[in-house]
Structure 1
């Protein structure tokens, strides 16, 4: 009898130790954060919240300059953004995720937009004015070695994004006499492929983590709405729909499980929402009186 009781205790102890070991391997809750820009009463500045919209933190502040278009480094260790501080036209900066250690990476006379770091951490992709049109460029992560990827005196290339593995770049252009279509190219600017052929303008294309879907926004019923297509351009699916409100500036969760975006639905000025990748389970994450833009999670 005593032996049986001892065996039972040993079994319970082993089960307890097993679950303790498993819990150590589980990721902690609420570790993801959402980065975005919002007007703080003076200028657009950069903020972050927890993935559920709680614990808002302002990362930049100024009564004479904006900080805008933020993006996470792929490993979540840095933030890249545009600012006209330092009396500039709009340069690329980096900072730590708590807003410290702000570094200016470019020094040009033109405005720059939408900086993002490559998967391997070596290159920053962005757009800048060239011959009166926005074109695409890369620099090294420290700001050196600028390389122009697109060029035209009659058409723009804009809103670029890296493929998650860093092998391709996706962007919008009105080349080929289009209104603004989705294109892909190699990271050196070669092998440019047109992926869509529509009569409407499209913006902000980005590839999913598994490389199968491109997320973007396009005009529908006079408002920007969210869509996906297959990576090759086929099988367009509309995710949001409204004749009174927009859904805009979408981004994938890093693991591809969610989409974050801005909408003025629910009679708001423009709040952060999340949804499943098929457009279901739409959740409002912020509730403010200001306009918010460019949400992205890590």
Structure 2
């Protein structure tokens, strides 16, 4: 029998080794070395290395001999077995240069006991099987495979190698999906959380019911969401996200509830953080971070607090060399290199390690001897000082159905948001608590009522109202905050903006459509005796009508916007909507173009401008094309002191002041290009600029369209409009939570 013997290396940075403590004589040394030799014969191929960080130590135990490329170890629910991937190069295809139609490597799944013994092959074939996960009962393994028609779908197999079954034909049944990645069973075993790539879109986290095969989207995707895992109690999902525009540089760890409504950001670094995993009791989350080229394992509380680095250069530069400059998130084979699995007793972590300049890998166990969640209590906490207006969470407030919502406005106490919605047919004014509770309809007329805004004392609401016969003609109305006592306050003006209420007086600013272009007007609401007297005064002309007006329909491409006037746009939007209702199966080339441009409805014939007062009521902010590009400007209420605030590229829309007047929030439109896709798309995201310096800060960066921001009274939240809910077909109100 041939037995390979590896010298057992022991390095203890915390304690003195037993060899040094004994200082044996020659006889003692001989006996000791003989004992060590026998011990090595017993453990065979196992390599052990004791490491330490601060006040904790752990054993590093290699359970494979490094003769093959093995990675992505995952413990079984009882901790007795490990499933992993073994990678085999397709050398014949490489020699023949057949990469274009044959994969340069094969991936199969293997099983072994958790001590490295009893290694046996689970799947076979010239295929790519990866991302294995045990079912909660430990009887099956779910994984992704291309073994049928080279389509990556979810498969399962019994741990004895029988009953190989394709359980999710997501890509095979429809052209709606590109691929599926990383399925993880839910704790009850009835579903999977997984990554789905829609056609012409980035990845998002989805839930799939195993029995019915029905899917439900959990996250919007942003720039890509990856590696989802449901918490042991089934209430939340942790995942890595590129939603802040950090594709190609770094990702953050986020948490979302299973409804997909409430998001919490857990990490904030500008280096990659990925592959989150739950501790068995659900109180901790581990993840892998690449900090300045050094890759280590970190652990934090479930809410993101008490972040601690658990390993310290344990893998030195070895793991870092395996970190690709940027592995392709659309082909996540190699991402399993960084997979970390918790032993169900909470005392061990399984991962993959390498030696320098060695292609093959080692499946490795970090044995902490005690519950890791308790062991790390003495480790120093890594604290992060967040800058003001850092995004810390998000909430889907009004989405979830076949309707559109827009024009949010906070009540003065910050507890309620009013908005316009067509959820019952006409556009009406609605209110809802910021906790998503207490939805209430405030208006219920036959006409459209839009763009509500609270008065400074919260007792009244100003809004726009139009008749069906005159869709583009709006007047400003005012009603009590409960929806009663509505009265008209403008007449003879074509109002084309959200009304803005002066915080210091009973005055409303608006934009009117005049012969020479849009103009900012002020209307003072006052009483002379029992008679209401409304006085209107002009402030400034805000638009150069001789310059292009791409703001007319902001969500179409610029080259397409120039081809249509507002009335033609409205007509074609209606035509596309009618064709959708008729469930047209075949679209002409012309209708396909219109469908692409006008698929997502904008409810008005003309774009509504946005103006806003500062809190002292002496200055207004607005969008203007006076320089050719659409930027943000401010002006004193008497029409003097015109100031150019933003000067960047792209289109700037919907400006609002922060409560302390130091910042301005707005929508900015920029072209975006994926790191892995040569196609260029347009992005509408929420930004903030400093009023004095003009310095800009992106708040979010989603694949979808985000616009119409408004600050909460405390400045810690922004309500905005986005089509991130549902299937991206409707606009709803979301909240951004800021530091």
Q: Using structure 1 for the length normalisation, give the TM-score.
A: 0.77
Deviation at 1:220, TM superposition (A): 2.6
User: Do 2:342 and 2:349's aligned partners in 1 also have CA atoms closer than 8 Å?
Assistant: yes
Q: How far apart are residue 255 of structure 1 and its match?
A: 2.5
Using the TM superposition, name which of 225-234 and 240-249 deviates more. Answer: 240-249
CA distance in 2, matches of 1:143, 1:267: 48
Correspondence for 2:353? 263
Instruction: Spell out structure 1 runs of 4+ moving beyond 4 A.
Output: none
Query: Which of 123, 134, 155 is the equivalent residue of 1:60?
Result: 123
* Secondary structure class of the residue paired with 1:37: strand
- Kept in 1, the 8 Å contact 2:271–2:292? The answer is no
Mapping for residues 215-294 of structure 1, pairs under 5 Å: 215-240=286-311, 241=313, 242-246=315-319, 248-265=338-355, 268=358, 269-275=360-366, 276=368, 277=372
Q: 1:91 to 1:123 in 2, by over 3 A?
A: same
Determine if contact 2:79/2:343 at 8 Å carries over to the other structure. Answer: no
Residue in structure 2 matched with residue 121 of structure 1 by the alignment: 189
- What is the 5 A alignment of 1:1-298? 32-42=80-90, 43-63=106-126, 65-109=127-171, 110-130=178-198, 131-142=200-211, 144-152=213-221, 154-178=222-246, 179-240=250-311, 241=313, 242-246=315-319, 248-265=338-355, 268=358, 269-275=360-366, 276=368, 277=372
Gaps in structure 1 of 5+ consecutive residues: 1-29, 280-298
State the structure with bigger RCO (CA 8 A, min sep 6), 1 or 2.
1
Distance in 2 separating the partners of 1:41 and 1:202: 29
Q: Give the root-mean-square deviation of aligned CA atoms.
A: 2.1
What is the CA-CA distance between 1:156 and the residue it aligns to?
0.8
C-alpha contact (below 8 Å) 1:221/1:243 kept by paired residues: no
Structure-2 separation of matches of 1:196 and 1:132: 25
> Structure 1: how far apart are the matches of 2:124 and 2:212?
23
TM-aligned CA deviation for residue 123 of structure 1 = 0.8
> Which segment drifts farther, 211-220 or 76-85?
211-220
Contact kept, 8 Å, 2:205 with 2:226, in 1: the verdict is: yes
Is contact 1:125-1:138 (8 Å) kept?
yes
Give the aligned partner of residue 11 of structure 1.
Answer: none
The structure with more radius of gyration: 2
CA drift at 1:201: 1.3
TM-score scaled to structure 2, two decimals? 0.32
* Distance apart, 1:121 and its partner CA: 1.1
User: Separation in 2 of the partners of 1:266 and 1:239?
Assistant: 22
SS in 1 for 2:299: strand
* C-alpha separation in 1, matches of 2:264 and 2:258: 13
